[in-house]
Amino acid sequence: MKIRLKVKTLLLLLLVFAVAYLWVIPQGTLAIARYLDKKDSPRADLFFERHIKMDDSIEGRLDYAKSLVKSFQKFTIYQQGWGGGEETSQEDIAKAEELLKGILKKDPSRNEEKLYIDAYLMLMDISIAKGDVEGLKEHIDFGENKSNLRNDALIYKAYLYFVNREFKEAENIVFQLEDEGLDDPRFEILLAEIHLANGNIQEAKVQYDLLQNRDWRLVEHSYFASGAYSSRNFWLQESENLISGNNKIKGRVTYEGEPMAFVEIYILNADGGIRIGGESYVAITDENGYFQTMGLADGLYDVGLGLDSSLLTDKVFQKSETAYVDLTQNDEYIEYTFRDTFEVYSPQPGEIVEDDEFTVSWEEVADAAYYTVEPVIFSNPLEKTGGSFRSPIEDINGKGRFVETTAQFRISDYRNQTGGMTFEGEEWILGSSAVLGKFLPGMEYPIIVNAYDSENLLITSSFPMRMYYDEIPSIVIEGELSEGQKLVAKMMYTEAILHYENILKDDPDNVEAISSLVKIYGIGWKKGEKNLGRAFELIEVISDERLKADLLNSILSQMDTEEILEFEKQVSDGIDVLSQYDNDNSHYNEYKLYLAKEDYIEARNALENLENFLPDSLIFLHIYLEDYDLAVERLLDERFYPSRLQGDTFKSAILGLGKNPPPEEEMEALREFLLEMIKGGANERKEKIYNKLVKSAENEDILTIVDEIYNVRNWNY
């Protein structure tokens, strides 16, 4: 049977097929790409690429670029912590740039005009996010010569003038465009920021009020590659006192000696917390990496940086010596430095360790005084999920600081390191790593190496600020968890106790059973569930003195005052054993013993003997014992971790107690308050403790001391 088609029908079918091929299929592919992108599927890239091959449209390219760079939210870095930002890689940024540059080579139709301009704006924002000054200038020059891009090019030119603190030139561009009849929210942003830089807070508020009163549907979430401006007016309202001063922080941000432009500089009151979001920026680095804040009031501040996360996938932040900045009618200059990472040669990612030892070797860092090695430990070792922590480990010779570029470690040395409670569901339960220790059979541990200078400041690291752990060197311990270890890993402690006690009936010297039970009983498998008598009884069976010291420390570090007094002899004997292997833990447990016995002079002396760190309890004890000069001296000691308490406000108040002693009843109230801090547990009764002293004391130095402790303990949260 023959099928005859009329020419008209054939042409219609060909037209349908052509439309399907040229429009329906490409649009369907683009729709799939958008859907997958909303679901954060990595397969979205594949469909975007297919669409471009079929129909290299401005719309498809722009959507693809936006899927790669979803926002310009800043990654925030303070001296006391960091976080935030998108998971954007340098490869994503580079690909997005390629796509957008391709758009600018096209001749847009009338319907594509807005998409074309959006691509141009995004390209300039990427240049700002990257700190690419020359790239931004090139894009501005390109846009100034095109009628449809000229206004946006001039606005970004004004922004560049603003960043370089050429305020008059920036204002001239804004006024010129306004005279030409252009109305744009970026004018208000630029004028407001210029006013702030010049100390004109009220004028800045006027501009941000104008911005706030605009139709929200016409205002973007970010401008100039920053999300700072959408909430800027609220920050101004709550921070007017903070920026009503004459003090300025000046400085520079560099990467391997080269300037980093467009880095936002943040400021927070030094209350121990950090705040991400970026609305608190007080300066932006210019094209040479320099910055100068607006005028700031006297006070103690935490200064932070804000930059695109893609910049941090190959960089390490080198902390400055400055912790909190104390501004008292003086300007402050700070250098912020980023460094290249260095390579770890061994182990390779996923390297299997077949025996009890493994070696770490790394690239030499020219100006390093020493290195440390840190494994990454996960709270859920079975799944490599949950929280993680890092701390330096010692080699087979007991050294934790390495001058050479290689070190050898013994896995068995770390099976008995401990931790504490974790909150699971509705109760506190012993974390499995507290019993299992580090380097478990079958588990993977990323390895990080850090390089430090002679002043104990981090120079650089093998681990950049932004990277996934599965991309770095790691070791996998050969073997499998025992039945008891599996029970502990699942935090099935009643079953684990029964299992290990049954083992000891047949094998009284079984090391795994003894070690596990000592920690389960001695730390307590659940809040309120301890058996210290059985724990100390099991420790006596151990003949390996180093293992005994490790287990004793795991128990002693978790004992409270009543327990220490009840088992005073065992604690004292344990300190003697511990002193042969670990001076700092020995002295700290000695401090706890004397504190329990209310011998505050000997408790203080024990803390004075610490080699690597000094807790704030030592400062409180010096004040309690009225050794004010020594209290201030210890605040400046390099062993004291950077803290708000190192500010002039706290130090002056301490010295003031000696110069103008308060009445004895007020000093007694201060001593009572300090003992609450020293003995712990004050956080649960913070309002009662704080209010009691504030109501009973009139001495300004006492009130200042209490307020500073209130802030450093984050009692305002």
Condensed to tens digits (0 to 9), the pLDDT of residues 298-350 reads 887 888 899 999 999 899 998 655 567 878 767 888 999 999 999 999 999 99
| Digit-coded pLDDT (tens) for 61-103 | 998 999 999 988 898 888 767 777 778 889 999 999 999 999 9
Q: Which residues contact 91 (CB under 8 A, 6 or more apart)?
A: none
DSSP 21: I
The two tokens of residue 692 are 């009691």
- What CATH number did the domain enclosing 274 receive? 2.60.40.1120
Tokens 């007694």 correspond to 668
* Average pLDDT of the segment spanning 409-420: 74
* Beta strand segments in 270-309, E: 281-284, 290-292, 299-307
CA-nearest of 166, 169, 125, 130 to 286 is 166
- What CATH number did the domain enclosing 411 receive? 2.60.40
Residues 176, 296: one domain? no
Residues 154, 69: one domain? yes
**Cα–Cα distance list, 119 to 47, 67, 69, 501, 561 (Å):** 20, 13, 12, 69, 66
Cβ atoms of residues 114 and 78 within 8 Å: no
Residues 70, 60: one domain? yes
675 burial level (CB within 10 Å; 0-12, 13-18, 19+) = middle
Average predicted confidence (pLDDT) for the chain = 87
Dihedral sign for Cα 538, 548, 433, 408, please: negative
Domain membership of residue 494 (yes or no) is: no
Strands 344-346 and 290-292: unpaired
Estimate the share of the chain in helix, then strand, then coil, as percent rounded to the nearest 5. Answer: 50, 15, 35
Domain membership of residue 496 (yes or no) is: no
Q: Which residues contact 44 (CB under 8 A, 6 or more apart)?
A: 33, 34, 36, 37, 67
The two tokens of residue 653 are 């108040």
β-sheet bridge partners, residue 428: 423
Domain membership of residue 523 (yes or no) is: yes
| DSSP H/E element including 531 | none
* Average pLDDT of the segment spanning 435-463: 88
Cβ atoms of residues 460 and 318 within 8 Å: yes
Residues 230, 254: one domain? no
Domain membership of residue 491 (yes or no) is: no
With pLDDT > 70 as the criterion, what percentage of the chain qualifies? 89
Distance CA 158, CA 178 (A): 13
The length of the chain in residues reads: 717
The two tokens of residue 594 are 């004397």
Residues 232, 277: one domain? no
* Average pLDDT of the segment spanning 484-511: 93
Domain membership of residue 495 (yes or no) is: no
Please tell me whether residue 32 adopts helix, strand or coil conformation: helix
Q: Which residues contact 14 (CB under 8 A, 6 or more apart)?
A: none
pLDDT at 19: 42
Residues 39, 70: one domain? no
| Digit-coded pLDDT (tens) for 666-691 | 999 999 999 988 987 667 777 788 88
Cβ atoms of residues 427 and 526 within 8 Å: yes
pLDDT at 16: 47
Domain membership of residue 290 (yes or no) is: yes
Cβ atoms of residues 112 and 148 within 8 Å: no
With pLDDT > 90 as the criterion, what percentage of the chain qualifies? 53
Please tell me whether residue 613 adopts helix, strand or coil conformation: coil
Domain membership of residue 501 (yes or no) is: no
Residues 76, 155: one domain? yes
* Average pLDDT of the segment spanning 35-45: 79
Is 90 exceeded by the pLDDT of residue 625? yes
Domain membership of residue 370 (yes or no) is: yes
Residues 75, 205: one domain? yes
Residues 334, 406: one domain? no
Is 60 exceeded by the pLDDT of residue 426? no
Cβ atoms of residues 281 and 275 within 8 Å: no
Note the pTM of the prediction, 2 decimals.
0.75
Q: Which residues contact 376 (CB under 8 A, 6 or more apart)?
A: 388, 389, 390, 445, 446, 447, 448, 469
Question: Which value, in Å, is the radius of gyration of the alpha carbons in the chain?
Answer: 31
Q: Which residues contact 591 (CB under 8 A, 6 or more apart)?
A: 603, 606, 607, 617
CA-nearest of 304, 175, 308 to 190 is 175
* Average pLDDT of the segment spanning 482-487: 92
Count how many domains the chain has.
5
Distance CA 36, CA 43 (A): 7
Please tell me whether residue 425 adopts helix, strand or coil conformation: coil
Residues 535, 552: one domain? yes
Residues 219, 306: one domain? no
| Digit-coded pLDDT (tens) for 108-165 | 999 999 999 999 999 999 999 999 999 999 999 999 999 999 999 999 999 999 999 9
Is 70 exceeded by the pLDDT of residue 237? yes
* Beta strand segments in 614-675, E: none
Is 70 exceeded by the pLDDT of residue 6? no
Q: Which residues contact 699 (CB under 8 A, 6 or more apart)?
A: 657, 662, 663, 666
Residues 356, 318: one domain? no
Is 70 exceeded by the pLDDT of residue 274? no
Got the DSSP string for 541-588?
T---HHHHHHHHHHHHTT--HHHHHHTHHHHHHHHHHHTTT-HHHHHH
Torsion of CA 666, 667, 669, 673, to 10 degrees: 140
Cβ atoms of residues 374 and 475 within 8 Å: no
384 burial level (CB within 10 Å; 0-12, 13-18, 19+) = middle
Of the ranges 46-50, 544-548, 575-579, the best mean pLDDT one: 575-579
Cβ atoms of residues 314 and 255 within 8 Å: no
Domain boundary among 419, 446, 481: 481
Quote the domain boundaries for residue 563. Answer: 508-712
| DSSP H/E element including 612 | none
Distance CA 370, CA 603 (A): 32
Domain boundary among 443, 462, 481: 481
β-sheet bridge partners, residue 317: 338
Between helix 532-539 and helix 511-523 the angle, nearest 10°, is: 150
Domain boundary among 239, 259, 291: 239
Helix intervals (H) in 57-104: 58-68, 90-104
* Beta strand segments in 290-411, E: 290-292, 299-307, 315-318, 324-327, 332-340, 344-346, 351-353, 357-362, 370-380, 385-390, 406-410
Neighbours of 193 (CB within 10 A): 25
Distance CA 612, CA 583 (A): 10
